[in-house]
Structure formats: C-alpha cells, structure tokens
Amino acid sequence: MLCNSKILVYGAGAIGGYLGGTLLAAGLDVTLLGRERVGEAFSAHGLTLTDYEGRSATLAGEKVPFITSSADYDGSPDVVLLTVKCTGLEEAARDLASLVGPQTVVACCQNGIGTKELVARYLPAQTIAAMVPFNVAWLEEARLHRGTEGKLLFQGNEAVKPLVEAWRLMGVPAGTRSDFTPISWGKLLLNLNNAINALAGVPLLEELHNRDYRRILSACMRELLAALKKADIKPAKLTKAPPFLVPWILLLPNWLFRVIAQQMLAIDPLARSSMWDDLQKRRPTEIEFLNQAVVELAFQQGLTAPVNERIVGLIREAESSGEGSPGMSSSDMVSRLL
C-alpha cells in the first residue's frame, strides 16, 4: 500500500494499540506513544491482534515502534490518532501543541460529546472528530481483542483516507463522514450502557441478557432521545435498528430480545465496557462526557434526565470509594434508578 504519512498514536492503550497495531500490520509508518508498562508488554510479548470473527495477527516486539514521551518523537506527524480518555484530553493537547503543525491532522477518538472542540482550543493542527464503535479488551500477554462489531468513522479529510483503506484491508470496517454531529450523538446513545456495565461488573453480553439492566438502559436512552428531539438533532443510525426503536427493543422479553439482538450487534462474551476497566484500575471515568452530557442537554432544552443523573451519582460514588466496580445486581440497580 502506498502511504507516506507519518502516523502517531497518542495514548496507545487497548484502543490505541489496536488501531495502531492494525495499521502497522498493514505496513504503514506508525509510532505508538503510551505508558511505560504498555511498551514493556509489547517489547516482551509482541503485539497480538484478535477479533470476535477469529482473525489473528502478531507483530514481534521489535516491529512495534513505541515511545513514552512526545520528546522522543522524530519530526512532526502527518496524522495523530488521539486515543487518550476524555479525562486526559487537556493534558494531551497541551503536550501535542509543540509537536504538531498546521498541516497535521489530529483525529479525536474519544467517547462522549465536546472532545473535538476541547482539543481544538489547544492545537494549531486540523482537528477532526472520529468514532470508535467497538470494544477492545487487553488480554493475556499483550493480546488486544476486538470484541464487538462496528464501523470506524472519521470526519472527512484526505489525510485519513489511506488509514481507512488500510483498516479495511485488515478486516476492520472503516469510513468517513462529512456531518459528524449525528454520529456523535448516535454513538452517545449506545455509550450510555458504559456506566451501567461498569456498575454491574459483569461482561456486556451477560448484562444485556438481563432484562432489568436493559430496562435501565432503555430509560437512559429515552431521556437522551427526548432531549435530542427538542434540540432538533437526529442521531445517526449506528446499528441495524433506527435509534428511536432501540430503547423499545431493549424492553422485549429475554427470549425475543436475544433473537433480535443477534441481528443488531455482535458482542463477544469477553467484552466489557471501558468504564468498568477505569473503575477497576481506580482511574477517573468519562462520565462527565457521557451520561452527564445527557443531563446537560436535557437542562438546556427545559427537560430533565433523572435516570442519567442518578447514574452519574452512582459512578461518582464508585470513583470516590476506590474499590472498583460495586458489582450491583440488576434488582438493586433498578431500585436505585427507576
């Protein structure tokens, strides 16, 4: 593949490692920047990329360019995949400011609302939005496993087209879109499950097979859809079902939901939400950019979002306790939230 772009993945954990690793496997010029322990794992074990469809590729440790500081990067990148969590965006943007130039394209790959605008305040680069719809789990010996389906999307820019082509060749669906506002809100609709999964402390598939957890997710989604309707924003369709139908599908009896859900979205039994991982590692979560964004939009539109607001409170309690996921049962969660 002909691509002379220098690509920097800033924040190479599970998502960043997977995105950058697949580009490396496709032969692109990629450098990963991340925590020292991540680099040590890649150096010791190489980087193995697997997915729910059975694909597998392994890069030897010496084939994975890895740095722990932007000061170690040679020159200026053409494209930056910014894959740090929302909570680390400001620090990352300040760090990148001296590294990128006006021709650099920075793709903001975070969950939530307002991340691109936050980054653009600090960088002279071209800042674009991106959406990573799938879950990636860090498994044994530096194996990064894509556990759910979904199409990578980037705000239209010529610089990312070679990357999109490379991902497609590696079996990762990818594309570009011009209007990203519907994409961002459509993704948020699906991301409202992150906090529920983090509080439950069980794999995504197990959680979604429990109707009580789904009832809570349905309520969260209906609050967001009501606020979006009032704001005249139409969220993008990111699953096989249109957004307005998804909350009602969640309320179906288990046997019927399982039949329909299999057609909507493939989920690996290993998959969990990134917010669960944050709680387990005693890190701040992205709740401000997810459920709190629903609360704020509802307020702006003269509405309320009480279920989302209570979920924000529970996540903040879990963060403060420093004990990881509280492992709330579905019945306990229903009694606290509905």
Do 88 and 64 belong together in one domain?
A: yes
CATH number at residue 281: 1.10.1040.10
- pLDDT of amino acid 147: 86
Do 48 and 157 belong together in one domain?
A: yes
- Name the nearest CA neighbour of 273 among 214, 221, 199: 199
Do 50 and 148 belong together in one domain?
A: yes
Do 114 and 246 belong together in one domain?
A: no
Mark which of 111, 145, 178 sits at the end of a domain.
Answer: 178
Question: Is residue 237 domain-resident?
Answer: yes
Range of the domain at 27: 6-178
Do 42 and 109 belong together in one domain?
A: yes
Mark which of 154, 178, 202 sits at the end of a domain.
Answer: 178
> What is the longest distance spanned by two Cα atoms in the chain?
57
Mark which of 132, 150, 178 sits at the end of a domain.
Answer: 178
Question: CA of 9: how far to CAs of 30, 91, 220, 293, in Å?
Answer: 7, 15, 33, 27
Question: Is residue 78 domain-resident?
Answer: yes
CATH number at residue 119: 3.40.50.720
Task: Please state, in angstroms and rounded to a whole number, the distance separating the CA atoms of residues 47 and 58.
Answer: 6
Contact (CB, 8 A) for 293 and 338? no
Question: Is residue 76 domain-resident?
Answer: yes
Mean pLDDT of residues grouped by 10 in the chain (338 residues)?
Answer: 84 96 97 97 97 95 97 95 95 94 94 92 90 90 90 93 96 94 96 98 95 99 99 94 96 95 78 91 95 98 99 98 98 98
Question: Is residue 169 domain-resident?
Answer: yes
Do 172 and 54 belong together in one domain?
A: yes
Question: Is residue 242 domain-resident?
Answer: yes
Contact (CB, 8 A) for 90 and 23? no
Please provide residue 160's backbone torsions phi and psi, each rounded to the nearest 5 degrees.
-90, -5
Task: Please state, in angstroms and rounded to a whole number, the distance separating the CA atoms of residues 337 and 199.
Answer: 12
Question: Is residue 27 domain-resident?
Answer: yes
- pLDDT of amino acid 137: 86
Do 328 and 209 belong together in one domain?
A: yes
Do 256 and 299 belong together in one domain?
A: yes
- pLDDT of amino acid 192: 98
What's the predicted TM-score (pTM) here? 0.90
User: How many domains are contained in the chain?
Assistant: 2
Do 123 and 191 belong together in one domain?
A: no
Do 141 and 254 belong together in one domain?
A: no
Question: Is residue 157 domain-resident?
Answer: yes
- Which secondary-structure segment (H or E) carries 105? strand 105-108
Nearest 5°: CA angle at 291, between 290 and 294? 100
Task: Please state, in angstroms and rounded to a whole number, the distance separating the CA atoms of residues 114 and 97.
Answer: 19
- Per residue, the 3-state secondary structure of the chain, as one string, reads CCCCCEEEEECCCHHHHHHHHHHHHCCCEEEEECCHHHHHHHHHHCEEEEECCCCEEEECHHHCCEECCHHHCCCCCCEEEECCCHHHHHHHHHHHCCCCCCCCEEEECCCCCCHHHHHHCCCCCEEEEEECCCCEEEECCCEEEECECCCEEEECCHHHHHHHHHHHHCCCCEEEECCCHHHHHHHHHHHCHHHHHHHHCCCHHHHHCCHHHHHHHHHHHHHHHHHHHHCCCCCCCCCCCCCCCHHHHHCCCHHHHHHHHHHHCCECCCCCCHHHHHHHCCCCCCHHHCHHHHHHHHHHCCCCCHHHHHHHHHHHHHHHHCCCCCCCCHHHHHHHHC
Question: Is residue 1 domain-resident?
Answer: no
Do 130 and 151 belong together in one domain?
A: yes
Do 156 and 302 belong together in one domain?
A: no
